[in-house]
Structure 1
Amino acid sequence: MPGTAPPDERLRVMPWWLVLVGLLLAALLGWWVLSWLLGEANRATAPDTRATLRIDAIRTGLTVVAGTGGGLALLLAARRQWISERAQRHQEVVAAADQAHRDRVQAHAETVAEAGQRHQEQQAEAAAHDAAERRLTELYTRAVELLGNDNAAVRLGGLHALERLGQDNPAQRPTIVGVLCAYLRMPSPDDARETEVRRSTQRVLTRHLRADGDAFWPGMRLDLVGARLDDFDAASCTLDDADLTGATCTGTTRFTGATLTGRLALGANFDTLLLDGVGGDATIVLDGARLTGRLSADGAEFGGPLSGQRATLGETSWRGSTFHRTATFDHTTFTGSASFREAKFHGGLSMEHSTFGGDADFRRARFGDLALFRWTEFRADASFADARFAGAASFGRARFHGPVTFEGATPARRPLFDQARATTSATHTWPDGVRVEPLDTDWLLLTDP
Structure 2
Amino acid sequence: MIALHQRRAQARRTRRLRRIGTWVLALGGALVLAVGLPWLVWRGPYLLDKGYINTATLGEASGSATLITGLRTALVACAAAIGAGVALVYTIRNYRLTRRGQVTDRFTKALERLGSNHRYVRIGGVLALEQIVQDAPEQATHAAQVLGHFVRDRAPARPGPPNAPDGKPTTTDTLLPMPLEADVQVALTALTRPKSRTHVDDFERLYLGTLHLPGALLDGADLTGAKLVGTNLTDARLFTANLMGADLSQADLTGADLSQADLTGADLSQADLTGANLVGADLTGANLREANLTSVNLREAILTGASLVGADLTDAYLAHADLTGADLSQADLTRANLRVANLNGASLPGANLFGANLGTVVGWTTEQVRYASVSAETVLPPGLRMDGGPSTT
What TM-score do you get using the length of structure 1 for normalisation?
Answer: 0.56
Deviation at 1:182, TM superposition (A): 2.9
1:310 and 2:293 are equivalent in the alignment: no
Are residues 1:338 and 2:296 paired?
yes
Q: What is the distance in 2 between the residues matched to 1:132 and 1:349?
A: 50
Deviations 1:37-74 (A, max 9, x none): xxxxxxxxxxxxxxxxxxxxxxxxxxxxxxxxxxxxxx
State the 1:166 CA deviation. Answer: 4.5
1-structure distance, mates of 2:59, 2:267: 92
State the secondary structure of the residue aligned to 1:290: coil
Matches within 5 A, 1:390-405: 391-400=344-353, 402-405=354-357
Structure 1: how far apart are the matches of 2:184 and 2:364?
52
Structure 1 Cα separation of the partners of residues 303 and 347 of structure 2: 17
Given residue 252 of structure 2, which amino acid in structure 1 is its aligned partner? L
Question: What is the CA deviation profile of residues 6-39 of structure 1, one whole-angstrom value per residue up to 9, with x for unaligned ones?
Answer: 4xxxxxxxxxxxxxxxxxxxxxxxxxxxxxxxxx
Cα–Cα, structure 1 residues 93 and 374, in superposed 2: closer, same or farther, change >3 Å?
farther
- What does residue 98 of structure 1 align with? 65
* Aligned-partner Cα distance in 1 for 2:119–2:357: 58
Structural mapping, 1:186-197, within 5 Å: 186=153
C-alpha contact 2:231 2:248 (8 A) present in aligned 1:
no
Q: Which has the higher contact order (CA 8 A, sep 6+)?
A: 2
1:244–1:436: structure 2 CA closer, same or farther, 3 Å change rule?
A: farther
SS at match of 2:104: helix
Alpha-carbon distance in 1 for matches of 2:321, 2:68: 86
Aligned residue number for residue 206 of structure 1: 189
1:246 aligns to 2:209 (yes or no): yes
Determine the C-alpha separation between the residues in 2 that align with 1:319 and 1:123: 56
Q: CA separation in 2, counterparts of 1:336 and 1:375?
A: 15
Alpha-carbon distance between aligned partners in 1 of 2:67 and 2:115, rounded to the nearest angstrom:
70
Q: Does 1:420 align with 2:372?
A: yes
Q: Could you tell me which runs of 5 or more consecutive residues in structure 2 were left unpaired when the two chains were aligned.
A: 1-45, 158-173
Structure 1 residue 285 and structure 2 residue 243: aligned? no
Q: Partner residue of 1:295?
A: 256
Report the identity percentage.
15
Once the two structures are TM-superposed, the CA of residue 339 in structure 1 deviates from its matched residue by 3.4
**Equivalents in 2 of 1:263, 1:372: separation in Å?**
23
Q: Which of residues 324, 330, 340 is equivalent to 1:387?
A: 340
| Corresponding position: 1:351 with 2:308 | yes
Deviations 1:108-150 (A, max 9, x none): 4314432443344344434443333333323323433453467
Q: Name the larger-Rg structure.
A: 1
In structure 2, the partner of 1:5 is 55
| Aligned pairs (5 A) from 1:40-439 | 90=57, 95-148=62-115, 158-159=125-126, 161-163=128-130, 165-166=132-133, 168-169=135-136, 171-186=138-153, 199-200=182-183, 202-203=185-186, 206=189, 219=198, 221=200, 243-256=206-219, 258=220, 260=222, 262-263=224-225, 266-275=228-237, 277-278=239-240, 283-291=244-252, 293-298=254-259, 300=260, 302=262, 305-318=264-277, 320-321=279-280, 323=282, 326-334=284-292, 336-340=294-298, 342-345=299-302, 347-356=304-313, 358-362=314-318, 364-367=319-322, 369-378=324-333, 380-384=334-338, 386-389=339-342, 391-400=344-353, 402-411=354-363, 413-422=365-374, 427-431=377-381, 432-435=384-387
Cα deviation, 1:249-277, whole Å, max 9, x if unaligned, reads: 33212334x26585455444224144564
Using a 3 Å threshold, how does the CA distance of structure 1 residues 436 and 207 change in structure 2: closer, same or farther?
same
Higher strand share: 1
1:296, 1:317 within 8 Å by CA — same for their partners in 2? Answer: yes
What is the rounded CA distance, in whole Å, between the counterparts of 2:272 and 2:378 in structure 1? Answer: 26
1:274–1:376: structure 2 CA closer, same or farther, 3 Å change rule? Answer: same
Alignment length, in residue pairs? 323
**What is the letter of the counterpart of residue 334 of structure 1?**
N
Question: Shift of residue 284 of structure 1?
Answer: 4.9
Q: Report the residue type matching 2:304 in the other structure.
A: G
Per the normalisation by structure 2, the TM-score is 0.63
* Paired residue secondary structure (2:256): strand
Alpha-carbon deviation of 1:104? 4.4
Please tell me the root mean square deviation across aligned C-alpha atoms, in Å. Answer: 4.5
* Change in 2 beyond 3 A, CA 1:318/1:93: farther
Whichever residue aligns with residue 203 of structure 1, its letter is V
Q: Hey, what's the Cα distance between the residues in 2 that align with 1:168 and 1:187?
A: 26
Residues 293, 311 of structure 2: 8 Å contact kept: no
Unaligned runs of 5+ in 1: 7-89, 226-240
CA distance in 1 between partners of 2:182 and 2:214 (Å): 12
- The structural deviation recorded for 1:169 is 4.6
Q: Distance in 1 between matches of 2:121 and 2:54?
A: 78
Q: 1:433 to 1:175 in 2, by over 3 A?
A: same
Distance 1:372 1:136, change over 3 A: closer
Tell me the alpha carbon deviations over residues 211-251 of structure 1, each in whole angstroms, 9 at most, x when there is no partner. 9xxxx75735599x9xxxxxxxxxxxxxxx98345141332
* In structure 2, distance between residues paired with 1:155 and 1:399: 51
Q: Post-superposition shift, 1:398?
A: 2.3
